[in-house]
């Protein structure tokens, strides 16, 4: 998915701004970002406790709801 987004960004750079192709590629890039956001958020949520435990931060500081 990320490779598709990168390819779309590269292709968009080679198009005329405000052309139909430019807007189609902009929409595709936005759609890829929307599709990638939930799995990325879940991954970050899973990694956060592991990262904070490595920082040796007091529990009262590390626990934020």
Residue with tokens 């040796």: 56
And the tokens for 26? 């902009």
pTM of structure: 0.56
The DSSP H or E segment spanning 44 is helix 20-54
Phi-psi region of 48 (alpha: psi -120 to 50; beta: other; left: phi over 0): alpha
And the tokens for 6? 């990168």
Judge whether residue 61 has pLDDT over 70: no
The pLDDT tens digits of the residues spanning 15-58 come to 999 999 999 999 999 998 888 888 888 887 877 666 666 666 55
Torsion angle defined by CA atoms of residues 50, 52, 58 and 63, in that order, rounded to the nearest 10 degrees: -90
Q: Which residue has the higher pLDDT, 4 or 9?
A: 9
Domain ranges of the chain: 2-54
Average pLDDT of the segment spanning 52-65:
58
């Amino acid at each position: 998915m990320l490779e598709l987004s990168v390819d779309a960004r590269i292709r968009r750079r080679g198009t005329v701004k405000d052309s139909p192709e430019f807007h189609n590629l902009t929409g595709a890039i936005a759609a890829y970002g929307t599709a990638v956001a939930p799995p990325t958020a879940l991954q970050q949520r899973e990694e956060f406790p592991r990262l904070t435990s490595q920082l040796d931060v007091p529990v009262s500081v590390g626990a934020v709801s």
